[in-house]
A and B are shown apart, each in its own frame.
Chain A
Amino acid sequence: MDYKVMDDAELIKLYINGEEKALSALINKHEQRIFSYILSKIQNRDLANDVFQDVFVKIIKVFRSGRYNEEGKFLNWALRISHNLVIDHFRKQKRIPTISNKDDFDIFDIVKDSAEDVETGMIREQIEKDLHRLILELPPEQLEVLKLRHFSGLSFKDIADQTGVSINTALGRMRYALINLRKLMEQHNVSLSLS
């Protein structure tokens, strides 16, 4: 069977039906694009190999569970998984305690660590996406107060005037918005923290 002429959907179908070589062909077809993406973010070949492996373990599990949606493009989906696992990697890394240099001179005091900027930026971007998705699930009156307070920077008096309610009601809505947001974070297993 010539796997090279097959498209992704055909390879995936064959693999799900038990043809292991189809997975090998699928990896071979996309490994460069996926690995390059991971390596460009992580900047460490060994760690990038670990993340690449985790990406395909996840992909295999989805294929075997029958949850793969054929409508989407495989590469885009695989890159989305890669992106999420890169973020998970940085999150885990930030939780690992590091030994600080006890000498007076530390090269890292003067050398700018650009990788730190990339990872912090990626996590922040993900947090913003998660937050945006979650706040849209809030009841409209709570969403309105949250937006006016945090995104428009209005005082509670201004919010009360603008929405035609008392200050106490505006404060109450804000309180419930935050309580509900915490519940939604738990339900969706979302962490909105850089650490």
Chain B
Amino acid sequence: MDKTTILENNNHVNARPDRQTIANILNFSKAYRHEKTKSGIEIELIQN
């Protein structure tokens, strides 16, 4: 009788991004500015 057990690869289910990726996102958030002029022009800025 075949007793083979098939193990499924479900590693993706509980995967989380690297901490560095999260840090990059939070740094971008702190630096990013979005402004709209009186004439309606939208400006995106990255501040140091």
A residues engaging B (CB < 8 A)? 20, 23-24, 27, 31-32, 35-36, 39-40, 45, 48-49, 52-53, 56-57, 60-61, 64-65
B residues engaging A (CB < 8 A)? 12-18, 20-22, 24-26, 28-30, 32-34, 42, 44
Rounded to whole angstroms, the CA-CA distance of A24 and B27 in the bound complex is 11
**Of all chain A residues, which has the CB nearest B13?**
A36
A32 B22 Cβ-Cβ under 8 A: no
Contacts of B22 in A (CB 8 A): 24, 27, 31
Contacts of B28 in A (CB 8 A): 56-57, 60
Rounded to whole angstroms, the CA-CA distance of A23 and B25 in the bound complex is 9
B15 A36 Cβ-Cβ under 8 A: yes
B18 A65 Cβ-Cβ under 8 A: no
B44 A61 Cβ-Cβ under 8 A: yes
B14 A20 Cβ-Cβ under 8 A: no
Once A35-B15, A36-B14, A65-B42 are accepted as A-B contacts, the answer to whether A53 and B32 lie under 8 Å apart by CB is no
B16 A56 Cβ-Cβ under 8 A: no
Q: In whole Å, how far is A37's beta carbon from the nearest beta carbon of chain B?
A: 8
Contacts of B24 in A (CB 8 A): 53
B42 A57 Cβ-Cβ under 8 A: no
B15 A20 Cβ-Cβ under 8 A: no
User: Which of A20, A40, A61 touches B30 (beta carbons < 8 Å)?
Assistant: A20
With A23-B26, A35-B16, A53-B17 known, 12 other A-B pairs at CB within 8 A are A20-B29, A23-B25, A24-B26, A27-B26, A35-B17, A48-B15, A52-B17, A52-B21, A57-B28, A60-B28, A60-B32, A64-B32
Contacts of B44 in A (CB 8 A): 61
**Of all chain A residues, which has the CB nearest B20?**
A49
A-B CB proximity, top 8 nearest: A64-B34, A40-B12, A56-B25, A49-B21, A35-B17, A52-B17, A39-B12, A36-B15
